[in-house]
Structure 1
Amino acid sequence: MTGALAPGLFAGRHAFVTGGTSGIGAATAVLLAELGAAVTALGLPPADPAELPVHPLVRVVEHDVLDRGGLARLLSAGDPLDALVNCAGVSHDRQEYDLARWQRVIEVNLTATMVACQAARPALAEHGGAIVNVSSMFAFSGSRDRPAYSASKGGVSQLTKSLAAEYAADGIRVNAVA
């Protein structure tokens, strides 16, 4: 998986990955570790425990990104931080037309991303770091089956642009992948 990237590319670096206990987040945590980073993978227990990222450089911390205070404490604990990857996300498909489901998707996908970015900013600013927010193709195309997911990922894309401008003075790069 790391063949196209320089071995040891992230040696000596520290990264946090929200949503890092399954799916894209877990794969990201393992990839960063394979490239030498010490990684803290934050997330809820996956439905299938085999999805948990397994690597000696990955520390798994059970955490719900909706626990804003806990997220802020974890990210500002004084540990070195070079990178934050926001992968936490949910989708409830057509059930997102229900306002309660809508709000949960927006809270997990968009608001928790903002909270994590704010909490990580001081540590990242110490020596210039990077934030990568995971967006989606639905940020651009929308989806009749996933209205909240699409709106939240559109928000993540725009939030990323705003934070890139705001955090540049601190030497923090902010990007999104979709």
Structure 2
Amino acid sequence: MILETFQLKGKNALVTGSSRGLGAAIALALAEAGANVALHGSSSVPARLVESITKTGARHLVLTGDLRQQELCPVLVEQTIAGLGGIDILVNNAGTIRRSPAVDFSMTDWMEVLQTNLTSVFQLSQAAGRHMLKQGSGKIINIASLLSFQGGVTVPSYAAAKGGVAQLTKALANEWASKGVQVNAIAPGYMETDNTKALREDQTRSRQILERIPAGRWGSPQDVAGAAVFLASAASNYINGHILAVDGGWLGR
């Protein structure tokens, strides 16, 4: 039955940056589909999210740590394996953004964004990939962005990192698809999250954005959750190196 291919019962997932926003919605959706989930936050994970995960009947694990620290990435994977018994799904969702004209952009902000949004994606994928390749199966889902395709304005490090995420997704898929590990990415459009708070509060910019989105609204974290379940499930086994835009039609405009 086709619906059975979307079930994740018995699978173990790690979702970085799952304390809020897109990550929290994805983690809860994976649990509702049957997966056990390792939740990760930079400093904490809200009790209400843990309660929601618990209600699904899925086993869970709470992990914390700042992904700006390179040594943390393999540790998170090992903690997931130790706590849940394995890792079948990795969602590289954690991210940050800094806004400033390129001519004034500081190297500190540049390095922090690149580490969090791109380097950690490689490190986590590398660590999880070692286990997935040994078991002959696995799903890695990277959270890219519309700025994987477009340059944006006053966010040079974010655009560079998300462009890199898209290319890294393809590079890993080229190496691992034949070995049973699918690597894909989701490119969210303009979502109602903390990262877009400033844009949504700017009445002129918000109106300009909404006028371009064919769907006529900002996206919600739940809009991304279904795509994540699909890419984490057996229903997507022949999809490799794909960047799935969940953007209300923005790129087609």
Q: Normalising TM by the smaller chain, what interval?
A: 0.7 to 0.9
Q: Which residue of 1 aligns with 2:113?
A: 105
CA deviations 1:86-134 (Å, max 9, x no partner) are: 0010001227721110111011000000000000012212131110000
CA deviations 1:120-158 (Å, max 9, x no partner) are: 012212131110000000111111121111110000000
Q: Structure 2 counterpart of 1:59, which letter? A: L
98 and 70 in structure 1: CA distance in 2 versus 1, 3 angstrom threshold: closer
Secondary structure of the equivalent of 1:145?
A: coil
117 and 76 in structure 1: CA distance in 2 versus 1, 3 angstrom threshold: same
Alignment partner of 1:120 is 2:128: yes
Secondary structure of the equivalent of 1:173?
A: strand
Distance in 1, matches of 2:76 and 2:27, equals: 17
Q: Which residue of 1 aligns with 2:30?
A: 32
Alignment of 1:89-100 (within 5 A): 89-94=95-100, 97-100=105-108
Q: Which runs of 5+ in 2 are unaligned?
A: 188-253
117 and 7 in structure 1: CA distance in 2 versus 1, 3 angstrom threshold: closer
| Cα shift at 1:170 | 2.5
Alignment of 1:16-165 (within 5 A): 16-45=14-43, 49=46, 52-53=49-50, 54-56=52-54, 57=58, 58-76=60-78, 78=81, 79-94=85-100, 97-125=105-133, 126-165=135-174
What fraction of aligned residue pairs are identical, expressed as a percent?
37
* Farther-moved stretch of structure 1 (166-175 vs 98-107): 166-175
Cα RMSD, aligned residues only: 2.3
Contact 1:76–1:122, Cα closer than 8 Å, also in 2: no
The number of aligned residues is 173
Q: Which runs of 5+ in 1 are unaligned?
A: none
| Cα shift at 1:23 | 1.2
Query: What TM-score, normalized to structure 2?
Result: 0.63
Secondary structure of the equivalent of 2:71?
A: helix
| Cα shift at 1:67 | 3.0
Distance in 2, matches of 1:59 and 1:73, equals: 14
Structure 1 or 2, whichever has the larger Rg, is 2
Alignment partner of 1:174 is 2:183: yes
Distance in 1, matches of 2:125 and 2:8, equals: 20
Distance in 2, matches of 1:33 and 1:72, equals: 23
Contact 2:10–2:34, Cα closer than 8 Å, also in 1: yes
Q: Structure 2 counterpart of 1:82, which letter? A: D
Distance in 1, matches of 2:126 and 2:146, equals: 25
Query: What TM-score, normalized to structure 1?
Result: 0.87
| Cα shift at 1:40 | 0.2
